[in-house]
Amino acid sequence: MDSLTLNILLGPHVQIFLVGATLFILIGIIFARTFPRTKQVEEDHNTFTSFLRFFYASFLKPHTGDETGNGQQDALESFYQAQAGVYDATRKRLLRGREDMLELVAAQLVNKASNERTHDSKRIWVDIGGGTGWNIEAMSAFVSVPDFFSSVYLVDFSPSLCEVARKRFARLGWSNVKVICQDARTFRLEDHEHGSESYEAAIPSPTSNYFGTQRDEGSVGGAELLTLSYSLSMIPDFYSVIDSLSSLLAPAGVIGVVDFYVQSIVDLSCRNYTGGAINRHVNWFARHFWRAWFDIDRVGLEAGRRDYLEYRFGSVLSADSRNYLLGSIPYYVWIGCSKRPSSFLATPSYPHEIVERLDAAVTESPYLSPINHTKAISTYVERSTPPELRSKAFDAAVVNLSANLPLPSFFYQNHHWRIYYDDTLKKHAQFKHEYIYAFTWEDSRVDHRLLKLDSHDVVLAITSAGDNILSYALSSPARIHAVDLNPNQNHLLELKVASYTALSYVDFWKLFGEGKHANFRSLLHSRLSPHLSSRAFQYWVNNAHIFESKQGRGLYDTGGSRHAIRVVRLLAVALGFRSQIKKLLQAKTLNEQREIWHSKIRPLLMSRLLSYFIVSSEKFLWAALGVPHNQLAMLEADYLTSESITNTSSSSLPLGHSEKELNSSRGQAVWEYMVQTLDPVIETSLIGDDNPYYLVCLQGSYSQRCHPDYLKPKSHQKLSRGSAFDGLRVHTDEINEVVNRLAPGTLTVAVIMDSMDWFDPGAEAANVQISKLNRALKLGGRVLLRSAALKPWYIAHFESLGFVAKRVGARIGNTCIDRVNMYASCYLLTKVENITPLTPKLPTRENSVDLDQLEI
Confidence of residue 446 (pLDDT cuts 50, 70, 90): very high
114 vs 101, which has greater pLDDT?
101
- Least confident range from 224-238, 472-486, 660-674, 831-845: namely 831-845
Contacts of 851 (CB under 8 A, 6+ apart): 350, 352, 355, 356, 370, 397, 398, 401
* pLDDT above 90 coverage of the chain, percent: 52
β-sheet with 124-128: strand ranges across: 177-181, 151-156, 124-128, 223-229, 249-260, 329-337, 314-323
Q: 350 pLDDT exceeds 50? A: no
Q: 155 pLDDT exceeds 60? A: yes
Residue pLDDT, tens place only, 750-805: 999 999 988 888 888 999 999 999 999 999 999 999 998 999 999 999 999 999 99
Q: 354 pLDDT exceeds 80? A: no
Q: 666 pLDDT exceeds 90? A: no
* pLDDT above 70 coverage of the chain, percent: 73
Report the pLDDT averaged over residues 576-603.
Answer: 93
Confidence of residue 88 (pLDDT cuts 50, 70, 90): low
pLDDT at 651: 57
d(CA 174, CA 193): 17
Confidence of residue 41 (pLDDT cuts 50, 70, 90): very low
**Highest mean pLDDT: which of 129-143, 157-171, 524-538?**
524-538
Q: Tell me whether the omega of the peptide bond preceding residue 251 falls within 30 degrees of 0, making it cis.
A: no
Residue pLDDT, tens place only, 457-481: 999 999 999 999 999 999 999 999 9
Pairing of strands 249-260, 329-337: antiparallel
Q: 487 pLDDT exceeds 70? A: yes
Q: 521 pLDDT exceeds 50? A: yes
- Widest CA span in the chain: 101
Q: 815 pLDDT exceeds 80? A: yes
28 vs 234, which has greater pLDDT?
234
pLDDT at 813: 82
d(CA 428, CA 422): 8
pLDDT at 72: 56
Helix, strand, or coil here: 830?
strand
DSSP category for residue 526:
I
pLDDT at 45: 47
Q: 315 pLDDT exceeds 60? A: yes
pLDDT at 4: 47
pLDDT at 220: 53
Half-sphere exposure of 116 (CA within 13 A, CB side): 12
pLDDT at 216: 41
Confidence of residue 525 (pLDDT cuts 50, 70, 90): very high
Q: Are the beta carbons of 729 and 723 closer than 8 angstroms?
A: no
Q: 263 pLDDT exceeds 60? A: yes
Burial label, 493 (beta-carbon count in 10 A; 0-12, 13-18, 19+): buried
Q: 832 pLDDT exceeds 50? A: yes
pLDDT at 213: 40
d(CA 279, CA 320): 6
| CA-only gyration radius of the chain, Å | 31
pLDDT at 117: 63
Residue pLDDT, tens place only, 228-251: 999 999 888 899 999 999 989 999
pLDDT at 625: 57
Q: 324 pLDDT exceeds 50? A: yes
pLDDT at 629: 77
Q: 727 pLDDT exceeds 90? A: yes
Q: What residues pair up with 786 in beta bridges, in sequence order?
A: 826
Q: 348 pLDDT exceeds 50? A: no
Confidence of residue 605 (pLDDT cuts 50, 70, 90): confident
Residue pLDDT, tens place only, 730-742: 999 999 999 999 9
Dihedral sign, Cα of residue 726, residue 730, residue 735, residue 739: negative
Q: What is the mean pLDDT of the chain?
A: 81
d(CA 461, CA 490): 12
15 vs 316, which has greater pLDDT?
316
Q: 71 pLDDT exceeds 70? A: no
Q: 716 pLDDT exceeds 60? A: yes
CA dist list (Å): 177 to 119, 159, 392, 824: 21, 17, 46, 68
Report, in this order, helix, strand and coil percent for the chain, each rounded to 5.
50, 10, 40
pLDDT at 611: 61
For the beta carbon of residue 489, count every other beta carbon within 10 angstroms: 27
Q: 696 pLDDT exceeds 60? A: yes
**Highest mean pLDDT: which of 29-43, 348-362, 449-463, 548-562?**
449-463
Q: 346 pLDDT exceeds 50? A: no
pLDDT at 402: 85
Q: What is the CATH superfamily name and number for domain 93-213+221-337? A: Vaccinia Virus protein VP39 (3.40.50.150)
Confidence of residue 562 (pLDDT cuts 50, 70, 90): confident
Domain ranges of the chain: 3-90, 93-213+221-337, 342-420+844-853, 562-699
